[in-house]
Structure 1
């Protein structure tokens, strides 16, 4: 499966994506609000990538390529919850919004699902702005929802309905 946007290619993961994803998942800046601490070894990333590959090519969870280089992932490891991570050297360029928006549009076009969800750390202001720009609305808050490396994290919950995406999709 492959999706092309003006600057990016979103595609199913493969074994050759190991080094690119390890560069993202081992960076403490990228994983500051991720569900795991930074990956310390290629083996950790290989196990993570194997899980992504095992979902199969029709699963809407994608590696993100920019100019042929893997720079992150966007999509749905488990529907309806969207997830994304991007190498920090590329933050602030609108690439995450472009990738996540494409993954969302793909799911709404190919799945009989009425709403999507997101779980974000309340301290992750950039991710909150991204979700809200894509039309997500806040639905709740949870304390101590994630234990990442021995540290409890809170969650802000968001949802995006199919009809809201149609009316609020960025031009």
Structure 2
């Protein structure tokens, strides 16, 4: 568990299901995710079950808990790639940045052999591109029409990397 100024970053729990389902069924939140919104709570339950299954070699993910309620998730979901999602009611308040500023250094300490943390996003997701840039990620590549978003459309992908900085804290 990690405490930041406004958040508690904690492991997922079974009682996060309804809050996560509210996120994963919201078309605004899922617009740039890896698939369209969930149709059934069973999809969210499968996600939550996977999220709650420990995998210390591949993941370092947290629920973003604001005042006792899950508002999203963030962290390394498949080493070395970072991922995050937040309920739209909480967008543009700096919560994901606050969480990642605590999580990313922890991941570099946890995996000292990892030279960088990566991220992928749809370049139309200007909020995520801006967040990654503010965190120090740099654009490393770009592919056109390479991602099938649920059979609805083909999307571009922007690739980012945050190199390990050699610091005394690392």
TM-score, structure 1 length as denominator? Answer: 0.90
- Alpha-carbon separation, structure 1, partners of 2:110 and 2:3: 16
Paired position in structure 2 for 1:161: 163
Alignment of 1:92-171 (within 5 A): 92-112=92-112, 113-150=114-151, 151-163=153-165
- Alpha-carbon separation, structure 1, partners of 2:45 and 2:146: 26
Paired position in structure 1 for 2:81: 81
Structure 2 stretches lacking a partner, 5+ long: none
> CA offsets per residue over residues 114-141 of structure 1, 9 Å max, x none?
2000001010001000000000000000
Paired position in structure 2 for 1:169: none
- Alpha-carbon separation, structure 2, partners of 1:135 and 1:57: 25
For this pair of structures, how many residues does the alignment match? 164
Once the 2 structures are TM-superposed, how far is the Cα of residue 145 of structure 1 from its aligned partner? Answer: 2.8
Q: Against the structure 1 CA distance between its residues 106 and 162, is the aligned structure 2 distance closer, same or farther, given a 3 Å change threshold? A: same
Runs of 4+ in 1 over 6 A off after TM superposition: none
- Alpha-carbon separation, structure 1, partners of 2:80 and 2:55: 17
Structure 1 stretches lacking a partner, 5+ long: 167-171
Alignment of 1:20-99 (within 5 A): 20-56=19-55, 59-99=59-99
TM-score, structure 2 length as denominator? Answer: 0.91
